């Protein structure tokens, strides 16, 4: 009898074991699914109307009417799943397409594609959007058919925009609206002359739609881990940058340039890294420009043999967003044998870190204040 009872109890335990395993598996699967990142998105449609600003008297003949256009945007909404999202007040990132009719027969129409970030203020009722991308213009400068267009020297342009909007999202079943103003900039950053560029100040209005508005996740608050705990020791960097550009004199031709940089940096907290370093510039286009000016402008007292190379020192800052950083640097030429533009220069752009933050790639615009000299494509190492 005892053996029968024992056998029944063992059988009962064997029957319960699969149920327990199943329950444990289900619970673990539930926990794992809870840790998967959700990806809420929204789309926006805008109409805008504006005016080209006369930042340069050389383009006054191109300002004849008020440009109009449309903007379509895709936004990935964040909610704090990744630490950087909560540290920056849950911004959006995404892509923007813009069409702009310049309402001028010499400027034509521009089609643009951008990557952008949205930053929120005033209880998320005010947004600041920054975008950087590439544009295609339908009617660039041509020495025979369109010599009047001295703003765009090439068919493909670098473009950036700023947009400040008052917004109300998800007012009714995901629908919302926004109104505001912004600036769109088109330039080829001296890849090819001419390059006087345009800046359009515009006013916009539009609607938005938030997908999955019913199941939009709650925002995860920032933890107690302090920003300064991300501080690092001083590290050293080497960078090589290159690209092509041309002097402002039409027809001198495009030439490659090379920039070698070394600098030290110190990450002081989660967001900020400070830098100090040296740039060495080999800008081949200056060779032909020096030779041209020595012949065409005798009053400049140039021999044509002046050194085209330059050396600069700079200080800089990186604003970190996880593996991406916004770079801003201010430099001063300590070796400047040919006085091209000013003795101060600046650099703005984006950097992406790889392989435990040891390697990185960057795209930056080097300029003398608001006048761009080159778009630089760079690779480097940090150790």
pLDDT in tens, 322-343: 899 999 999 999 999 999 999 9
Chosen domain end from 210, 238, 266: 210
- Do both 267 and 331 map to the same domain? yes
What integer is the mean pLDDT of 19-32?
A: 39
Residue at 26 is within a domain: no
Residue at 148 is within a domain: yes
For 145, counting Cβ atoms within 10 Å of its Cβ (0-12 exposed, 13-18 middle, 19+ buried), the class is exposed
What integer is the mean pLDDT of 109-133?
A: 97
| Backbone conformation region of residue 301, classed left if phi is above 0, alpha if psi is from -120 to 50, else beta | left
What integer is the mean pLDDT of 174-193?
A: 95
Chosen domain end from 143, 176, 210: 210
Q: In the predicted model, is pLDDT for residue 35 greater than 80?
A: no
Q: In the predicted model, is pLDDT for residue 34 greater than 60?
A: no
253 vs 270: CA distance, rounded Å: 44
Strands 344-354 and 324-335: antiparallel
Q: Which residue has the higher pLDDT, 361 or 370?
A: 361
Q: In the predicted model, is pLDDT for residue 2 greater than 50?
A: no
Residue at 36 is within a domain: no
- At 262 the pLDDT is 98
Q: Is there a contact between 80 and 221 (Cβ–Cβ < 8 Å)?
A: yes
Q: In the predicted model, is pLDDT for residue 301 greater than 90?
A: no
What integer is the mean pLDDT of 63-72?
A: 97
Residue at 220 is within a domain: no
- Do both 198 and 61 map to the same domain? yes
Query: Is residue 46 very low, low, confident or very high in pLDDT (cuts 50, 70, 90)?
Result: very high
Q: Which residue has the higher pLDDT, 297 or 49?
A: 49
Q: In the predicted model, is pLDDT for residue 104 greater than 50?
A: yes
CATH code for the domain of 183: 2.40.160.20
- Do both 115 and 197 map to the same domain? yes
Q: In the predicted model, is pLDDT for residue 14 greater than 50?
A: no
In this prediction, what percent of the chain has a pLDDT beyond 90?
81
Where in the sequence is the domain holding 289, given as residue range(s)?
228-382
Nearest by Cα to 43 from 223, 289, 222, 213? 213
- Do both 174 and 238 map to the same domain? no
Mean pLDDT of the chain: 90
- Do both 206 and 243 map to the same domain? no
* Tens-place pLDDT, residues 151-172: 999 999 999 999 999 999 999 9
Q: In the predicted model, is pLDDT for residue 108 greater than 60?
A: yes
Residue at 73 is within a domain: yes
What integer is the mean pLDDT of 286-314?
A: 92
Residue 45, H or E segment: strand 41-52
Q: Which residue has the higher pLDDT, 247 or 12?
A: 247
- Do both 308 and 273 map to the same domain? yes
What integer is the mean pLDDT of 55-80?
A: 95
Residue at 32 is within a domain: no
CA distances from 25 to 30, 33, 317 (A): 9, 12, 48
Residue at 22 is within a domain: no
- At 189 the pLDDT is 86
């Amino acid at each position: 009898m005892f053996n029968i009872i024992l056998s029944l109890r063992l059988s009962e335990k064997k029957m319960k074991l699969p149920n327990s395993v199943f329950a444990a598996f289900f619970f673990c699967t539930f926990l794992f699914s809870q840790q998967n990142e959700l990806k809420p998105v929204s789309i926006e449609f805008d109409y805008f109307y504006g005016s080209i600003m006369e930042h340069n008297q050389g383009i006054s003949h191109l300002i004849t009417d008020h440009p109009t256009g449309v903007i379509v945007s895709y936004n990935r909404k964040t909610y704090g799943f990744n630490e950087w999202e909560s540290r920056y007040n849950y911004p959006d990132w995404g892509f923007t397409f813009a069409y702009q009719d310049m309402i001028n027969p010499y400027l034509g129409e521009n089609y643009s594609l951008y990557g952008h970030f949205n930053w929120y203020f005033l209880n998320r009722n005010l947004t600041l959007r920054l975008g950087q991308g590439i544009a295609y213009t339908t009617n660039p400068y041509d020495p025979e058919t369109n010599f009047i267009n001295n703003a765009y020297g090439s068919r493909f342009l670098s473009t950036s925009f700023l947009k400040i909007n008052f917004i109300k999202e998800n007012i009714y079943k995901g629908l919302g609206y926004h109104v505001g103003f912004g600036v769109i900039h088109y330039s080829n950053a001296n890849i090819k002359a001419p390059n006087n560029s345009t800046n359009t100040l515009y006013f916009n209005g539009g609607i938005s739609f938030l997908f999955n508005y019913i199941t939009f996740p709650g925002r995860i608050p920032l933890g107690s881990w302090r920003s300064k705990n991300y501080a690092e020791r001083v590290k050293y960097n080497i960078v090589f940058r290159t690209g092509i550009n041309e002097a402002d004199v039409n027809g001198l031709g495009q030439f490659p340039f090379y920039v070698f940089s070394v600098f030290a940096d110190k990450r002081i907290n989660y967001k900020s890294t400070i830098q100090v370093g040296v740039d060495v510039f080999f800008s081949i286009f200056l060779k032909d420009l020096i030779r041209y000016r020595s012949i065409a402008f005798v009053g400049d007292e140039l021999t044509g043999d002046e050194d085209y190379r330059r050396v600069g020192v700079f200080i800089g800052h990186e604003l970190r967003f996880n593996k991406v950083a916004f770079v801003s640097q201010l430099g001063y030429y300590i070796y400047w044998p040919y006085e091209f533009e000013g003795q101060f220069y600046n650099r703005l752009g984006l950097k992406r870190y790889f392989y435990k933050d040891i390697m990185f790639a960057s795209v930056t615009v080097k300029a003398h204040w608001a006048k761009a000299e080159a778009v630089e494509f760079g690779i480097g190492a940090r150790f």
